[in-house]
Amino acid sequence: MLPQSVTQKHFSLGPDKPVLTFSAKLNTQGEILEEKIVNGYIRNVVYITPDRLAQLYGIDRLQAPRMTLQVGGEAQMPNRPELQDYLSEEHAQSLLTLQKLLSAHWEVRVKKGAMNSASTQRSQPFVSGGNGRIKSLVVDGNEALQYTGDPIIHISGPMLDPLEILESTKQDLVSHAMVLGGEVAAKWCKERDIPLIFSGVTQRPEETVLRGILGGESTSTSMARFKGYLSPVPVPHTALGMEQYAKCTSPLRRFSDLLCHWQIEAGLRREAERKRPALERKDVTLPFSLEKVNAIISRSTWQNRLKDRAQSMSRDFWAMQLLFRAFNYGQAKLPETFQCQIVTQLLEGKVSKVKDSKVQYMGSLLPFRLRCCISMDPKMPPLQAGDVVDVKIQQANLYNVFLDVDFVKLVKRPSEEAAKGSGGFFI
């Protein structure tokens, strides 16, 4: 990631900033009639939170009760004066229309094999050094960061029903819009024979079934997951229900997205010079040739996996530090029990060796969505993916970055409709 001091001033979206606009014209059946990519400037920018957007669609997370935990002192949360609570009637109607069109497009994708990926908001811990605890913080890296004392850690999450069935595009409109943008980018480049880092998905069900029969990996999540791969030429993305797809919405966070923007800008520049579409690769001088894109893919695949894991584990690490200090040293009052959603049953001793004699499940601690290992007496009725249970913390495992918890009781089991509609109870 680039330093915020650089991105906010020079690259972040804001009034009068240069942008690439990815557009698609959809009919009421959700079919794409036309795509367009243009460069320009944005002027009137309205900033709202995901919760404020969901409220427009009848999902009121703002009024939901929240669980908030804090250790080390009082956190001074960052102030964001640009966020707005008010939406004009024009903007509200536009967002309602957008949701209807994306919902119809989602149905088209489902018919092509798209799966609901069960997008859930994960609580992000806020970490602060407090006054006078950080002695030096420099960007150039010539000096060490000196830190004294334990940081202030704050985390908060809404107490929502994890089994409530919500319309996908109302729950996470932004994700659907970004995926559509990736589809537009991929199709635009496919028509012009421009190489990109295209994302594809393949699945060979016979392999996963055989692994289960032969005693290999046999969790419910491994059976459900597709195998993703990258390609310099367009390939189908079965899990998204698309003939081609390329990530393009986070050029400050992913190099593949930045590469996509550079390739498209080169194509746009050439078309502006020739006054006609550049429909062949030889018509455009590209920053990255097919060979260069392929070389980038060969090393970026493992780099992206490490980056994603580091980002996820960093978030879990700080949340686990909070629970460790609260549970072991009483720095915050914890509820006697937490709710947890079951993800899958674990093979004996696969993750936690605290209680090898007990049945163990991998779960997601609510409302923060933290990994936990649930130990249960083998004489108890078995649990299934999606079950909501009460658990009691046994220990915060800082080495493996998950919680060891004991099963208390079953709270709720998902209906058949919820079980079929979810793409998996992923953490």
Question: Which one-letter amino acid corresponds to residue 283?
Answer: D
- Taking each helix axis from N to C end, the angle separating 173-191 and 89-111, rounded to the nearest 10 degrees, works out to 60
Q: Is 333-421 in CATH node 3.40.50.300? A: no
- The Cα 252–Cα 7 span in angstroms is 8
- Domain locations along the chain: 12-328, 333-421
- The Cα 358–Cα 318 span in angstroms is 28
pLDDT at 423: 45
pLDDT at 351: 55
- The Cα 348–Cα 361 span in angstroms is 10
pLDDT at 2: 63
Residues 6 or more apart whose Cβ sits within 8 Å of residue 153: 70, 71, 72, 75, 125, 126, 127, 318, 319, 321, 322, 325
Beta bridge partners of 393: 405
Look at strands 198-202 and 152-158 and give their pairing: unpaired
Two tokens at 356? 């090898």
pLDDT at 184: 98
Q: Exposed, middle or buried, 186 (CB in 10 Å: 0-12/13-18/19+)?
A: buried
Task: Name the pTM for this structure.
Answer: 0.83
Question: Which one-letter amino acid corresponds to residue 37?
Answer: I
Question: Which one-letter amino acid corresponds to residue 3?
Answer: P
Give mean pLDDT in consecutive 10-residue pieces for the chain, a chain of 427 residues: 70 88 96 95 92 91 91 87 90 97 97 78 84 55 69 93 89 94 97 94 52 43 63 94 95 90 93 73 80 92 85 93 96 97 80 66 95 94 95 94 95 77 47
CA 36 to chain centroid, in Å, comes to 26
Write out the DSSP string of 350-409.
Answer: SS--S-TTSEEEEEEEETTTEEEEEEE-TTSPPP-TT-EEEEEEEEEETTTTEEEEEEEE
pLDDT at 135: 53
Q: What is the tally of helices (H) and strands (E) in the chain?
A: 10, 14
Look at strands 402-412 and 370-376 and give their pairing: parallel
